[in-house]
């Protein structure tokens, strides 16, 4: 095992796939010579050169369109959209093009590409550089949606995304880039569509994603220490395909479900999961399923305001305690 930061795991994942497969190339704004604004792709340009690691103009539509045209005709491109908020300017390619071309052409067209993007809050950047938009992506048939919470998952799920035959939107959390974790040595490839129980427990289930995972674990540890409440935490890891089996078996065991979501409340991913659980596991539940989310507001810039907007360890802890007591 090697200790890598989350951002180093991004570069490691891309490098692993580029070494393996000549058809993998990487494009984006400031990703090559500068190594990315989040320094997540440092070293790739030096290693693979200007043919395979390419600085593009600020042209998000051209970036995604080019990735798509290349993917349709035999490459496996990785495209970076610097901040996930910017996906709104090229959303046509996500919502109408890469997601639908296979279906509309009845399988003639394929689109094996990865769109990597910096998602989420905590950086005090304000409403246009901080959003969690994974639920936008989840709402579109035809794409896959990945959002890792650890360096190992970054590398393994990124590799799986590159090898996947479908277009994948890969959400990296900006506030996790600096965290460190163990990453397996050598080739590391994970499996899309698999959630993970990252903290076993018996009294309640928290389902969380990306930055909310470490916060949920901390809250669960505190609930155990302070009140002896034993909470299981499930890291969803990929929203599409959604591993309901892992989630459902946890809820069946604990009888309680909490979702911790950074996306704004309305139509957040937790709503879908709660609805499935209510449909399919209603008689296993010992109480209401509760969603802990960012409220339905644009994100503020001020640190004190942002901190009370996004679910915090304290908020997760207090809410669960309130509901369970």
Answer yes or no whether residue 17 interacts with another protein by CB under 8 A: no
How many angstroms separate the Cα of 147 from the Cα of each of 55, 158, 267, 298? 24, 10, 17, 21
- Exactly one of 19, 165, 226, 286 binds another protein (CB under 8 A); that residue is 165
Residues 22-61 that bind another protein (CB under 8 A): 23, 25, 51, 54, 56-57, 59, 61
Answer yes or no whether residue 193 interacts with another protein by CB under 8 A: yes
**CA 177 – CA 175 distance, rounded (Å):** 6
Decide if 129 is catalytic: yes
Answer yes or no whether residue 80 interacts with another protein by CB under 8 A: no
**CA 129 – CA 22 distance, rounded (Å):** 33
Report yes or no: 257 and 207 within 8 Å, Cβ to Cβ: yes
How is residue 205 written in tokens? 């289930």
Answer yes or no whether residue 244 interacts with another protein by CB under 8 A: yes
Q: Work out how close the CB of 67 gets to another protein at its nearest, in angstroms, rounded to a whole number.
A: 6
**CA 277 – CA 220 distance, rounded (Å):** 21
Complex with another protein: residue 90 or 310, whichever CB lies closer = 90
- Exactly one of 34, 46, 104, 226 binds another protein (CB under 8 A); that residue is 104
Report yes or no: 61 and 97 within 8 Å, Cβ to Cβ: no
Answer yes or no whether residue 235 interacts with another protein by CB under 8 A: no
Answer yes or no whether residue 191 interacts with another protein by CB under 8 A: no
How is residue 301 written in tokens? 């810039």
Nearest to 292 by CA among 316, 271, 317: 316
**CA 176 – CA 265 distance, rounded (Å):** 22
DSSP state of 223: H
Query: Number of residues in contact with another protein, rule: CB under 8 A?
Result: 52
x/- contact string, 138-157, with another protein (CB under 8 A)? ---xx-x-------------
Complex with another protein: residue 73 or 304, whichever CB lies closer = 73
- Exactly one of 242, 257, 277, 290 binds another protein (CB under 8 A); that residue is 242
**CA 98 – CA 91 distance, rounded (Å):** 10
| Positions marked active-site | 129
Binding site for another protein (CB under 8 A): 23, 25, 51, 54, 56-57, 59, 61-75, 77, 92-93, 96-97, 101-110, 112, 141-142, 144, 164-166, 193, 240-245, 276
């Amino acid at each position: 095992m090697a200790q890598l930061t989350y951002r180093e795991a991004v570069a490691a994942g891309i490098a692993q796939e580029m070494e393996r497969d000549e058809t993998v190339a990487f494009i984006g704004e400031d990703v090559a010579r500068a190594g990315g604004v989040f320094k997540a792709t440092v070293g790739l340009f030096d290693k693979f050169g200007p043919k395979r690691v390419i600085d593009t103009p600020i042209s998000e539509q051209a970036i995604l369109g080019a990735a798509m045209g290349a993917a349709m005709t035999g490459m496996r491109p990785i495209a970076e959209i610097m901040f996930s908020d910017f996906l709104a300017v090229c959303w046509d390619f996500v919502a109408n093009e890469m997601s639908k071309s296979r279906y509309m052409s009845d399988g003639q067209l394929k689109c094996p590409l990865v769109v990597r993007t910096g998602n989420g809050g905590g950086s005090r950047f304000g409403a246009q550089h901080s959003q969690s938009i994974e639920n936008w992506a989840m709402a579109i048939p035809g794409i896959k949606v990945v959002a890792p919470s650890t360096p190992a998952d970054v590398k393994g799920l990124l590799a799986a995304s590159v090898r996947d035959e479908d277009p994948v939107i890969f959400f990296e959390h900006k506030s996790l880039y600096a965290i460190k974790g163990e990453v397996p040595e050598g080739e590391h490839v994970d499996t899309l569509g698999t959630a993970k129980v990252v903290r076993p427990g018996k009294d309640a289930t928290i389902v969380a994603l990306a930055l909310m995972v470490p916060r949920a674990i901390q809250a669960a540890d505190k609930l155990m220490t302070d009140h002896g409440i034993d909470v299981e935490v499930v890291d969803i890891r990929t929203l599409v395909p959604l591993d309901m089996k892992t989630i459902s078996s946890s809820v069946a065991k604990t009888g309680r479900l909490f979702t911790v979501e950074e996306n704004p409340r309305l139509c957040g991913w937790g709503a879908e999961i709660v609805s499935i659980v209510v449909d399919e596991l209603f008689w296993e539940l010992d109480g209401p399923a509760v969603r802990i989310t960012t409220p339905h507001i644009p994100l503020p810039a001020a640190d004190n305001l942002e901190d009370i907007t996004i679910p915090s360890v304290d908020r997760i802890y207090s809410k669960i305690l309130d509901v369970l007591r």
